[in-house]
Amino acid sequence: MKLTNVEKKENFQVELSITVESAEFEAGMVTAYNKIKNLVNVPGFRKGKAPRKMIEKLYGAEVFYEDAIEACYPAAVEAACKEADIEPIAITAITEADVQNGELLLKVDLQLKPELTVKAYKGLEGKKEAAEVTDVNVLAELTRKAEQNARQVSVERAAQAGDVVKIDFEGFCGGEAFDGGKAEGYDLKLGSGMFIPGFEEQVAGHNIGEEFDVNVIFPTEYQAAELAGKPATFKCKLHEITEIQLPEIDDEFVKDVSEFDTLDELKADIKKNMTESAERNAERFFEEALMKQLRENLEGEIPEVMIEKELDFIMNDYAMNIAMQSGMSFDKYLEMNGLNVDMFRQMFRGTADERVKTRLALEAVVRAENIEVSEEEIEAEFKKMAEQYNMEIDAVKAQVAVSGLKMDLAVNKAVEVIKANAVAPAAKEEAAEEAPKKTRKTTKKTTKKETEEVSENATEKAEDNE
């Protein structure tokens, strides 16, 4: 490969002129021949057995050019970019692909990442909330653990709030049964709010074996428009009442549900974990508030291809997670949810736009602050990644580009610069209130001084007149 010319264009685009030399292009021709030889009919030869020269004689060497170019150009463009010391984000067009004397002459348009600026990144308004965990929060978590380990015991008494009842029911509106209003052996927890308002309260107080009516009025915004706002009667029969019995929260309970021996140990662990979680959330909300302002301060035009590439990443990531969690293909997932690829991309366009803007704005801060990353920091990050993914460090280095990792670390430092220079809303208001006071004070001194000077001048003039 020979890079013959680099021409910079507007909007962070560049055109590279590249020559793929004969040996490299010949390798591409071999790849093209092996790809299409089974598709070509040559009299006297079985499919796939015709020599390349025979196919070229019949159809011309050009029959292989398209596939040969497809095989050659990615490596050639990559090598040319390294030689030109550029990192494109996309190939926007191949404007020329001409074969001359066994060589491939290429002209390729590339989109470079724009170097935008931010109006301001220091003094952004944000406050990190204190991560406070109370005894009430700890008790709520203990109660949740107790509910997860609760027993359900059948009882012979009237149903009450908190019980789980097994009932049959059928609903009627205007004397007619309606779709979706019937069930048998349905388990309903009284007080859960799962049914129409007033339903569960009317089940409470009834005993096993009783048949009774429940009269309700559907909400005006009910999902079934033909029932919205209308009165209905449910004919019910109660079959079973189950009482939920929570275990006593003591040392024995703690031993059953955790690795601790005492309630105090479990409480301390719960408080520690909840505090750490609250601190992470507070940090995240604080950072998100600052990043929103930073995006608003970004100046410059963003190439549409960057948004599209981010959408590609989001879609591929989503598809991989769907496959891992359910074994379902992404196309099937979209079909089941009444979506197509275009609809999905439109749904996540805002997310992609925010991600791209945030990254470009942070990279602008990296440049403005001259943030650098040492070789030691890069090596430490490689080691951390190797431990995280249980891989050899050399294997990680083979898969992760140093330049990309270096910028990631620099961007992380930029975030810390922004957070360190953020101003709490109250402090900002106090500074704004203080400024007029200082102005008034300065004005008062100046006026006094001016008065004294005027007085002295008047006295001197009076003496001169005398």
pLDDT at residue 457 above 80?
no
- Domain extent, residue 181, equals 152-245
| Domain of residue 82, CATH code | 3.30.70.1050
Same domain, 91 and 136: no
Q: pLDDT by residue (tens digit) across 190-222? A: 999 999 999 999 999 999 999 999 999 999 988
pLDDT at residue 18 above 70?
yes
pLDDT at residue 439 above 90?
no
Same domain, 240 and 256: no
- 51 within a domain of the structure (yes/no): yes
Instruction: Please state the rounded mean pLDDT for residues 324-328.
Output: 91
pLDDT at residue 445 above 50?
no
Same domain, 205 and 131: no
Last residue of a domain, one of 245, 269, 290: 245
- 391 within a domain of the structure (yes/no): no
Same domain, 184 and 216: yes
- 38 within a domain of the structure (yes/no): yes
pLDDT at residue 465 above 50?
no
Residue 23: C-alpha distances to residues 26, 60, 72 (Å)? 5, 19, 11
pLDDT band at 459 (very low <50, low <70, confident <90, very high): very low
Q: Quote the pTM value.
A: 0.71
Instruction: Please state the rounded mean pLDDT for residues 99-121.
Output: 94
> Which of 448 and 240 is assigned the larger pLDDT?
240
Same domain, 97 and 136: no
Task: Write down the pLDDT at residue 41.
Answer: 84
Task: Write down the pLDDT at residue 426.
Answer: 66
> Which of 158 and 180 is assigned the larger pLDDT?
158
Give the residues across from 87 on adjacent strands: none
Q: Alpha-carbon distance 99 to 22, whole Å?
A: 10
Same domain, 144 and 260: yes
pLDDT band at 117 (very low <50, low <70, confident <90, very high): very high
Same domain, 18 and 74: yes
pLDDT band at 425 (very low <50, low <70, confident <90, very high): confident
Give the residues across from 153 on adjacent strands: 243
pLDDT band at 11 (very low <50, low <70, confident <90, very high): confident
Task: Write down the pLDDT at residue 460.
Answer: 44
Same domain, 19 and 168: no
Give the residues across from 19 on adjacent strands: 2, 105
Q: Alpha-carbon distance 67 to 35, whole Å?
A: 8
- 386 within a domain of the structure (yes/no): no
pLDDT band at 428 (very low <50, low <70, confident <90, very high): low
Task: Write down the pLDDT at residue 432.
Answer: 58
Dihedral Cα 25, 29, 34, 35, nearest 10 deg: 90
Q: Alpha-carbon distance 200 to 216, whole Å?
A: 10
- 156 within a domain of the structure (yes/no): yes
Sequential DSSP letters for 72-135 = HHHHHHHHHHHHHT--EEEEEEEEEEEEETTEEEEEEEEEEPP--EES--SS-B--PPP----H
Give me the residue label for tokens 């019910």.
Answer: 236
Q: pLDDT by residue (tens digit) across 262-285? A: 999 999 999 999 999 999 999 999
Q: Which two tokens stand for residue 338?
A: 């009444």
Instruction: Please state the rounded mean pLDDT for residues 34-43.
Output: 88
Task: Write down the pLDDT at residue 436.
Answer: 55
- 196 within a domain of the structure (yes/no): yes
| Domain of residue 176, CATH code | 3.10.50.40
Same domain, 183 and 218: yes
Supply φ then ψ for residue 107, to 5 degrees: -125, 125
- 427 within a domain of the structure (yes/no): no
Number of domains forming the structure of the chain: 3
pLDDT at residue 354 above 60?
yes
Task: Write down the pLDDT at residue 449.
Answer: 45
Same domain, 41 and 178: no
pLDDT band at 348 (very low <50, low <70, confident <90, very high): very high
Q: pLDDT by residue (tens digit) across 132-145? A: 999 999 999 999 99
**What is the rounded average pLDDT for all residues in the chain?**
89
- 360 within a domain of the structure (yes/no): no
Same domain, 221 and 165: yes
pLDDT at residue 352 above 60?
yes
Same domain, 279 and 143: yes
Last residue of a domain, one of 265, 300, 335: 300
